[in-house]
Amino acid sequence: MKTQAYDFLSDWFEILNDDCDYALWSQYFISGLSELGAGKKGLELGCGSGAFCRALAKQGYKMTGADLSVPMLSKGSALAREAGLRIPFVQADAANFKTPEKYDFILSPNDCYNYIPQEKLPNAFRRAAAALKKDGIFWLDLSSAYKLRKKVANTVSADDRDEVTYLAFNTLFENRVEMDVTLFVRETDGRFRRYDEKHVQYIHERERTEDALRGAGFEVLRVEGHLGASTEESDRINFICRKAKS
């Protein structure tokens, strides 16, 4: 059976990313949304296992999590319940997202739109705009072209823990990086079981991304690097937008 991205990585995603400082990263979004005057009804699109949903819900935001990966959604639901939070999680593809709901803001951090090919990005942004209330905030980030071309391309990423070992063999193509991911997970008897899945991240240039956002009906308020840093040689680029008045 063909596997999808995050079929197996879902159980280990937050553990393997424990060095990213989710608390600080979440506060960056919470502070920014407050400064922008965003309302309390939010959608995290490409929510994964829901780390940011949980952080915002604890601050009084009424969050919904949406992701294409069913295993990620299952993990997100379980972690929310463990935290005593009531957060709905729904399956959705950011490339052709539709919802009858209207949100005050859509937050899409941690590479969601890197999984969408360049030719599908304008329509994906139009779908996001359609899900927002008047003057709604759309805040997404992308792994930068610099990161994917200069730091990830044609490398091997590895993380070896007691319970899991992660390997990713990353190959650069003209418009994307393909990542062949292997996990070795320790079972209860001490043996390790191998799991394989493939990830493809598309390279989105800043200027074309801004053009696509404006074409979808957004005002680009600002563009900044990770946690508000400079965009120059930043691994992550934030696009902070407001739905333009029609």
Indicate the SS3 state at residue 145: helix
Structure tokens at 95: 């490339």
The Cα–Cα gap between 159 and 220 comes to 37
Q: Could you tell me the pTM of the whole model?
A: 0.95
The Cα–Cα gap between 127 and 200 comes to 22
Q: Which of 142, 151, 146 is nearest to 118 (CA)?
A: 142
Indicate the SS3 state at residue 121: helix
pLDDT the model gives residue 16: 96
Structure tokens at 87: 């957060």
pLDDT the model gives residue 50: 96
CB 60 within 8 A of CB 40: yes
Helix (H) or strand (E) holding 125: helix 121-130
pLDDT tens track of the chain, all 246 residues?
567 899 999 999 999 999 999 999 999 999 999 999 999 999 999 999 999 999 999 999 999 999 999 999 999 999 999 999 999 999 999 999 999 999 999 999 999 999 999 999 999 999 999 999 999 999 999 999 999 999 999 999 999 999 999 999 999 999 999 999 999 999 999 999 999 999 999 999 999 999 999 999 999 999 999 999 999 999 999 999 999 876
What is the DSSP secondary-structure string of 24-83? HHHHHHHHHHHHTT--SEEEEET-TT-HHHHHHHTTT-EEEEEES-HHHHHHHHHHHHHT
Q: What number of CA atoms fall less than 13 Å from residue 103's CA on the CB side?
A: 25
